[in-house]
Structure 1
Amino acid sequence: MANSPQARKRARQAENRRQHNAAMRSMVRTYLKKVNAAIASGDQGSAQEAYNQAVSVLDKATRKGKFHPNKAARHKSRLNTKIKAMAA
């Protein structure tokens, strides 16, 4: 357990960061689910709109270091491929 004042403060900061990071990851997952739901519904317009929102949230989380840039790119690429396939 943290005994020094510095260690207690670091423990508080770590807990706050953990909660914030978890909230950011959860928000990104929610937006990705919305895109997948829109794709499953078959409406390309709503899927594209949901995709644009998800990309914004995903890029923001990536800039803040919550996700590796390659993981974000992989998600965006796969979702975009699914949306493009709807038009064909």
Structure 2
Amino acid sequence: MANTPQAKKRIRRNATRATINHSRISRVRTFIKAVESAIAAGKKAEAAEALKQVQPEMARGVARGVIHKNTAARKFSRLSKRVASLG
């Protein structure tokens, strides 16, 4: 249990940050799912448009520190590859 006022404040702040970070990660995942569902449906135009929306969201996640830079690059690369392979 936290004893000092500083430690108590840190606990409150960490809980707030965890909520915010969770929503940011969730938002990125939602955009990724939009691309994956378009790929599954075989709609290249929709997938390409959704891919354009994913990139800035991932970049925002990296800038905010909720996603590692290389993870975002890897995911974007794999999604791009899958969209390009659609006929």
Q: Please classify the TM superposition score into its range, dividing by the shorter chain length.
A: over 0.9
1:9-36 CA-to-partner distances (Å, cap 9, x unmatched) read 1111100111111111111111111100
Q: Distance in 2 between matches of 1:71 and 1:27?
A: 16
TM-score (norm 2): 0.94
Runs of 4+ aligned structure 1 residues displaced above 6 Å come to none
User: 1:1-88 alignment to 2 at 5 Å?
Assistant: 1-87=1-87
1:12-62 CA-to-partner distances (Å, cap 9, x unmatched) read 110011111111111111111110001111111110111111111111001
Task: Mark the runs of 5 or more structure 1 residues left unpaired by the alignment.
Answer: none
Question: Kindly, what percent of the aligned residue pairs are identical?
Answer: 39
Task: Report the RMSD for the aligned CA atoms in angstroms.
Answer: 0.9
Task: Mark the runs of 5 or more structure 2 residues left unpaired by the alignment.
Answer: none
Partner amino acid, structure 2, of 1:13: R
